Amino acid sequence: MAALTETSSNVTEFSGKFKVAAVEVDGATGTTGSVTIDEMDTVVAVFAQMKEAPTATCAHVRASINATTANQIDCILYEDDHVTACTQTATDFYLLAVGY
């Protein structure tokens, strides 16, 4: 997967162990791709939310932890059927990742 463009991000450490990263992703750089959280060795949970209003051609984003690279998040934008990958200009989205 290609790297997506990070618009902005902030990483906060809690209790000297866990970190939370909030990342704004520029969806115009692609409808599928990955984001690497360099400040974490391992991401244990990730959540994604569309920044802009969904459309029929770009309705929601799915984020998952990469199976081989523990601090990489794979992102795919979908059409409103929740099955077909978005092929139109993608909208921006946010990621919230928890890791250490």
**For the chain, what is the domain count?**
1
Taking the CB of residue 67, how many other CB atoms lie within 10 A of it? 8
Flag whether pLDDT at 3 surpasses 70: no
Percent of the chain scoring above 90 in pLDDT: 48
What's the CA gap between 21 and 42, in Å, rounded?
12
Flag whether pLDDT at 2 surpasses 60: no
Residue 15 Rama label (left phi>0; alpha psi -120 to 50; beta): left
Mean pLDDT of the chain: 87
| CATH assignment of the domain containing 37 | 2.60.40.3940
Q: What is the DSSP string of 15-72?
A: TTTEEEEEEEEEGGG-SEEEEE-TT-S-EEEEEEEESSPP-SSS-EEEEEE-SS-TTE
Residue 18 confidence (pLDDT): 93
Which residue range is the domain that position 32 belongs to?
A: 5-99
pLDDT digits (tens, 9 = 90+) for 4-49: 777 888 888 888 889 999 999 987 666 778 999 999 999 999 999 9
> What does pTM read for this prediction?
0.85
